[in-house]
């Protein structure tokens, strides 16, 4: 069952509760609903985590935690899924988002040379920025919806299969 797999993979919720970056949420972190692993909370967590994984902002984990609290999603899973966009995967993910944005705008890719400095980022916002940000929004929204629907389907399939096994064993 998906619940057992998730329990093995997720970190201890006490470690998350006591993390210094998440102390801004105060007593909201002590709500038991944020730690349950059920179909609704896990589906919402996938939606929240996948959405913020594709949004190019600093402190994605804190934003995901806030959204998890707001939507009553599993907090640990929401935060963990943000790490899909990590320093190794970010270039490919964000370049793909840029391509989606240029496709939406119907334009051609603009040639650019990446430089690791703040001035390049500021200058790029006027050239490649709009396509990049629109692409990130589209990919974030689509992946969020797909994550929610797929987890709902997997969970229902798993529960249905277990019911069928029980019925078969009773006969």
Q: What are the pLDDT digits (tens) for 67-108? A: 998 998 988 889 889 999 988 988 889 889 989 999 998 877
| Percent helix, percent strand, percent coil in the chain, to nearest 5 | 75, 0, 25
Would the pLDDT of 126 be above 60?
Answer: yes
The larger pLDDT score, comparing residue 146 to residue 59, is at 146
Task: For residue 22, give the DSSP letter.
Answer: G
49 in Cβ contact with 39 (< 8 Å): no
């Amino acid at each position: 069952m998906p619940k057992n797999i998730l329990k093995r993979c997720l970190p201890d919720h006490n470690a998350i509760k006591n993390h210094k970056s998440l102390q801004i949420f105060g007593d909201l972190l002590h709500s038991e609903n944020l730690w349950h692993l059920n179909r609704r909370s896990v589906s919402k967590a996938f939606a929240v985590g996948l959405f913020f994984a594709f949004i190019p902002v600093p402190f994605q984990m804190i934003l995901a935690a806030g959204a998890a609290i707001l939507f009553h999603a599993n907090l640990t899973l929401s935060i963990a899924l943000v790490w899909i966009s990590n320093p190794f995967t970010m270039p490919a993910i964000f370049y793909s988002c840029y391509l989606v944005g240029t496709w939406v705008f119907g334009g051609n890719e603009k040639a650019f040379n990446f430089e690791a400095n703040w001035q390049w980022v500021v200058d790029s916002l006027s050239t490649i920025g709009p396509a990049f940000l629109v692409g990130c929004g589209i990919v974030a929204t689509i992946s969020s919806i797909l994550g929610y629907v797929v987890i709902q389907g997997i969970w229902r399939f798993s529960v249905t299969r277990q019911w069928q096994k029980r019925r078969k064993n009773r006969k």
